[in-house]
Structure 1
């Protein structure tokens, strides 16, 4: 386990999946990050790569071959190597090997940087295509979960979600595990939304953010604490809690990609939301978490 700290924060990161394990402020005893529970959701903040969401039948076709890949890709279940570290920053890396090639036939390097900057955890992903001749096709996303209620006092229903810009958004609806982007619904976020478990009866609430700066704030209205997740250039941001079994957490998920469309034909070259990276090129993605 890797521990980062500065005058305001103490953060722990697991090398397995480069997954956040703990987020605490120095001035209180609150654990902001969901601690995982095998009875509900046993993860905490997985990295989604090289896919976001589920593929139809957990498979896709590329280059006349069929590849099998479970929901959200394999990066979350593989160890990252530390390549740089200071007391308040760490850079970790994962790259392709013979095992990844069985599910994903591309060369890649995925670096994740966690840095404590005053009272924020700044998180950056850098995807590089080391291939000399093949375009890398991938998606990437984050899936941090936060305790709600934060102190264990009260109920899930005391959680409020507010966003900036505070306006109406196109909400992508899920049909089972797959997105139905051709039939979006409007969701009015001019005012804060009081959360309850039934709001997640169709899985995640997916905001179509279209590459803008989007901020989601979760507030435990009894404790008067919460988290602010700032996202930059995302295509979608998912807000999710488990349903119909329930647990006291909410995830805010910056996505540069999305689950298969209900009409997907299984061909990777046609898949919605995928990014294409030319040989020897690099793309960068960024978001931040501020506990308060």
Structure 2
């Protein structure tokens, strides 16, 4: 387990999946990060790559061949290697292999950097295309889960979700596991929303952010502690908690990609939300977590 520390925060990261394992403020010792429970959700903060969400029939077609890939891709279940580390930051790396090429026929280099800056954890995903001839087609996203409520006296049904800018947003609905972006509804976030388990009976609440600066905040009103997730450049941010299984956790998920559309034809070149990285090019995707 990798440990990062500064005056404000102590963070732990596992090399399996480069997944966050713990986020604590040093002044209150509250554990903000969901600790995983197989009965509800065994993961904590998986990295979604090279797909976000589910593919139709867990498969896609590229260059005349059909490939099988489960929800959210394979990066979360593979080991990363530490390539740079100090007391307050670390960079981990994962690359393609014979196994990944069976499910995803592209060379890639995925680097994940965590850096503590005052009371904020800055996260950067770097995707590099090492191929000299072919573009890399992929999506990427984050899926951190947070303990909610954060006080023993609080309850899930008291937790508040607020966003900034506080305005009305288009919400993409899911039809089963697939997005129905052609038929969005409006979600009014001009005031904080008190959440419930039933809010997630149709899976994630997906905000269309359009790449603008967007912050989602979860607050436990009993002790007034919570977490800000700051994003910029994401097209969508998902907010999710398992349902009908109920657990005291809420995920805030910056996505640079999305599940297959209800009308998807299964061809990778047509898939919604995918990124194309030219040979020898690279791209960065950033967000930050600020517990309070």
| TM-score in same-fold range (> 0.5) | yes
Paired position in structure 2 for 1:171? 171
- Partners of 2:110 and 2:215 in 1: how far apart? 25
Paired position in structure 2 for 1:42? 42
Paired position in structure 1 for 2:85? 85
Stretches of structure 2 lacking an aligned partner (at least 5 in a row): none
1:201 aligns with 2:201: yes
Cα deviation for residue 245 of structure 1 reads: 1.1
- Partners of 2:38 and 2:245 in 1: how far apart? 12
Report the count of equivalent residues.
Answer: 292
Cα deviation for residue 223 of structure 1 reads: 1.5
For each residue in 1:64-121, what CA deviation from the matched residue of structure 2 results, as whole angstroms up to 9, or x when unmatched?
0000000000000000000000000000000101010000000000000000000000
- Partners of 2:263 and 2:160 in 1: how far apart? 34
After TM superposition, which residue ranges in structure 1, 4 or more long, deviate above 4 angstroms?
none
For each residue in 1:248-272, what CA deviation from the matched residue of structure 2 results, as whole angstroms up to 9, or x when unmatched?
0000000000000001000000000
Stretches of structure 1 lacking an aligned partner (at least 5 in a row): none
- Partners of 1:75 and 1:17 in 2: how far apart? 6
1:75 aligns with 2:75: yes
Cα deviation for residue 151 of structure 1 reads: 2.6
Paired position in structure 1 for 2:105? 105
For each residue in 1:103-154, what CA deviation from the matched residue of structure 2 results, as whole angstroms up to 9, or x when unmatched?
0000000000000000000000000000000010000000000000113322
SS at the partner of 1:262? coil
| RMSD of equivalent CA atoms | 0.5
Paired position in structure 1 for 2:19? 19
- Partners of 1:105 and 1:211 in 2: how far apart? 28
For each residue in 1:146-191, what CA deviation from the matched residue of structure 2 results, as whole angstroms up to 9, or x when unmatched?
0001133221011000001111100000000000000000000000
Cα deviation for residue 284 of structure 1 reads: 0.4
- Partners of 2:210 and 2:98 in 1: how far apart? 35
- Partners of 2:19 and 2:29 in 1: how far apart? 21
